[in-house]
A and B are shown apart, each in its own frame.
Chain A
Amino acid sequence: MSMQPTSERTLSVEVLARVEGEGGLHLSMRNGKVAEAKLNIFEPPRFYEAFLRGRSMMELPDLTARICGICPVAYQFSACMAIEDACGVTVPDSVHALRRLLYCGEWIESQTLHVYMLHAPDFMGYAGAIEMAKDYPTEVARGLSMKKAGNELMTLVGGRSVHPVNTKIGGFYKMPSVADMMALRPALAQGLEDALETVRFCAGLEFPEFERPYLFVSLRPETGYPIDSGRIVTSRGEDLSVREFVERVEEVHVEHSNALHGVLDGEPYVVGPLARYSLNFDRLSPLAQQAARDAGLGETCYNPFKSIIVRAVETVEAFHEALRIIDSWVDGLPASVPVPPREAEGWGATEAPRGLCFHRYKIDDDGLVTDAQIAPPTSQNQPSMEADLRELAQEWMWMSDEDLTLRAEVAIRNYDPCISCSVHFLDLTVDRG
């Protein structure tokens, strides 16, 4: 027996829980069809790109880190790469390796927090992690222990567990010693075991049958899984430099959101775990590939609800990669190179835990910023989040308001949106008649 859809139905969630920042969602249906699906982002804009103009390029890592308390490294390194690109400087391999290591710490912190504290309760039928912890203490404790290992890695390399202070344009202020790194090894080795267990845990959850033909976009480096560098590839076969990609992306303002919507040649696209995984399965370590296969994932994944498994697989990769880097570390490597300013424009992109984060800057001869563009992953994903909402509301229209609203909320949390990061300025037009 199917329920007759009512002629008019409106579902809305004023303030979404378990996402960073303030946003809501709005769905309206007329005569059995979805009329409107909107993700409202009403967190106030912060005018970052405007206030960076006139600041020294050397301040960018510390200034842009404050865009986000969860993924500061993404902003720091995208900014560093853009400025190094503008100044025509190549950093040494030791700097690349340490950047990748610090980034692994951020991935571990962020992906673990999302999997266990924010997303798992949705699939397990709990209002939040505290309620879930009463019945599943082992699982929640495992998540906390992995997050702690990520915090320790960030503290070792970055000098602080949030907003690292050790990074600068051209490299780092100080290199950690082999002894410091080895002291952390047991926690990371345990973390890898816990991450593998996390993949098994996520694979055991129940997922709705739901797929969409996403246009995926992610970095793809010459070797390894995309984290800190690479060219940009898409699921329709493009292979672009960061500059070429940025020139083809348009950021459009829509009335119901303080975040700009990103579109590639006019089409919505998706960045983040599903995109990275589906475009780079061959780049995962054999261990992470096997974990993914054992969890029932194919080499691509178009079911956004399964992003929780992909995040767990990426956490395996992050621990594995962190161990690889610390095991090959030697003392006395160069910490940085000088970056003399010149009048130029530069592009930089890295993979924040929730997806591609790209920056573009123009600087003058004194190294002062004259133009800045920062595109966080959440704003690039926003059109696709709304398309998911529209599609799932159409598919599951027979559900009760309560069930459909919950499913819609979970669909937004699939993207682990970082709403405060995504907020840009609002163009204001005054009509005086």
Chain B
Amino acid sequence: MTHPPARRVVVGLGAPDRGDDAVGPTVAREVAAVLAQRPVPGVEVLEREDPTALLDVWAGAELTVVCDAVRSGSPPGTLHVVRTGKDLPPLTEGHVQEAGSHDFGLASAIELARALGRLPEHVVVVGVEARSFEWGEPLTRQVAGAVPSAVAEVMALLRS
């Protein structure tokens, strides 16, 4: 008798129709396609637009990988991999996606979860530096070009 594999979650965060904000969902879809060919047990792939949804989706997960657009001033397409979790320091500004103050950004959702005791031990943010958040626009060339390396990063995390 074997134990069921530990639950691991990949979440693509962002609006699918808002320029580079779609990079999170795009990476998640490609990760799902890779997993369909070469399954890794216990992995669930989700897309969400509201970062506060993370508080529920990562409950009980041994590892959560959040793919999101990032604005830190680096060249568009730059990959950022940041580890956080309940015993690790908060994300600094610049690691966070720019969001309206009416909405909660990723860093706010992580800190809100920490305050509520709902931040799991292992969360890894795989961020892609964005250039544009124009409604109705596709990914910019530099960001689209970074998708394969973001997918590879997520797969490496899942297989490690």
Contact with A along B81-116 (1 / 0, CB 8 A): 000000000000000000011111000100110011
Whether A140 contacts B116 by the Cβ 8 Å rule is: yes
Question: Distance (Å) between the CB of A361 and the closest chain B CB?
Answer: 20
- Complex alpha-carbon distance, A162 and B52, angstroms: 13
Chain A interface, DSSP helix/strand/loop, else mixed: helix
* B residues in contact with A160, CB < 8 Å: 49
Whether A66 contacts B116 by the Cβ 8 Å rule is: no
* A residues in contact with B115, CB < 8 Å: 130-131, 133-134, 137, 140
**Looking at chain B, what size class is its interface with the partner chain?**
20 to 34
Whether B116 contacts A19 by the Cβ 8 Å rule is: no
The total of interchain contacts (Cβ-Cβ below 8 angstroms) comes to 58
* A residues in contact with B136, CB < 8 Å: 66
With contact pairs A133-B112, A137-B116, A163-B17 given, residues A69 and B100 touching in the complex (Cβ less than 8 Å): yes
- Complex alpha-carbon distance, A160 and B102, angstroms: 19
Q: Which residue of B lies closest to A137 (CB)?
A: B116
* B residues in contact with A161, CB < 8 Å: 49-50
B55 within 8 A of A: yes
Whether A113 contacts B102 by the Cβ 8 Å rule is: yes
* A residues in contact with B117, CB < 8 Å: 137
Which A144-179 residues have C-beta < 8 A from chain B? 144, 147-148, 151, 160-163
With contact pairs A144-B52, A148-B56 given, residues A20 and B17 touching in the complex (Cβ less than 8 Å): no
- Complex alpha-carbon distance, A118 and B108, angstroms: 13
Question: Distance (Å) between the CB of B35 and the closest chain A CB?
Answer: 24
Question: Distance (Å) between the CB of A393 and the closest chain B CB?
Answer: 24
A380 within 8 A of B: no
Which B44-62 residues have C-beta < 8 A from chain A? 49-50, 52-53, 55-56
With contact pairs A133-B112, A137-B116, A162-B15 given, residues A69 and B53 touching in the complex (Cβ less than 8 Å): no
> A18-B101, A69-B103 known; 20 other A-B pairs, CB under 8 Å?
A17-B101, A18-B102, A19-B102, A20-B103, A21-B100, A69-B15, A118-B102, A129-B112, A130-B115, A140-B115, A144-B52, A147-B52, A148-B52, A148-B53, A148-B56, A160-B49, A162-B50, A163-B15, A418-B102, A420-B100
15 contacts between A and B (CB under 8 A): A69-B15, A69-B103, A130-B115, A131-B115, A133-B115, A134-B115, A137-B116, A137-B117, A144-B52, A144-B55, A147-B52, A148-B52, A148-B53, A148-B56, A162-B49
